[in-house]
Amino acid sequence: MALVAEVARAWLTLAADRENRKLAQSTFESQTQAYALVKKRFEVGMANELDLKRAQVPLKTSKASRITLAQLMQPEHANNLGNVHGGWIMKLVDEAGALACMRHAQKRVVTVAVDSLVFREPIKIGHLVTLNAEVTYTGRTSLEAEVQVIAENPITGERTHTNTAYLVYVALDDNAKPTSVPPLVAETEEDVERMKQAEARQKRRISQK
């Protein structure tokens, strides 16, 4: 009986995941189609400008928030071992994550949490550091950004993935008060899975408070 129950539970979980993916994709597609329809009506004079503005529900995907920063590591970025100082990389990670969140929220943001930042490999002076950041989760006023750090030897072209970090920000209004952010919309099945993982991380953060 226990085995039957486990199989049934696994099947129900799989079915729920499939439905969630379908729902996310259909939501994105329906929003896109609704706006396209109103836009066509506007173009032929069957809808006014107010109708068009109302239909412009922000379709905020992870892809829309993506940002890339690149910087050549100079001697002033070195620690006492001759590698790039970890604090400098953390600064760049925070900036990249903040920019991705600002692009999504179209508001100023402040950092409220940084998940563990593990340095897999040292970064050498003279290497080009590239940071790729995008929003992976949104709450009412908070956003999570994933930042990946790549170090490249510009002479040989060798690239090394040195860090991945997850940071949480809160959007602020003009009075520096927390303000709501647009929801994140899944565009692909991969987006759905990454959003589920991000939601699990956020629940874990909240439980640890």
Q: What is the pLDDT of residue 174?
A: 94
Q: What is the pLDDT of residue 87?
A: 95
Distance (Å, whole) CA 99 – CA 106: 10
Is residue 147 predicted with pLDDT exceeding 80?
Answer: yes
What is the arithmetic mean of pLDDT over 115-121?
Answer: 85
Q: What mean pLDDT, rounded, does the chain reach? A: 84
Please, which residues have CB within 8 angstroms of residue 68's CB and are 6 or more apart in sequence? 130, 131, 132, 133
Residue 202 exposure: Cα atoms within 13 Å on the Cβ side? 19
Burial class (CB in 10 A: 0-12, 13-18, 19+), 82: exposed
Distance (Å, whole) CA 51 – CA 29: 19
Q: What percent of the chain has pLDDT over 90?
A: 56
Q: What is the pLDDT of residue 185?
A: 86
Lowest mean pLDDT among 42-46, 179-183, 204-208: 42-46
Helices H / strands E in the chain, number of each:
5, 5
What is the arithmetic mean of pLDDT over 18-27?
Answer: 49
Between 54 and 188, the higher pLDDT residue: 188
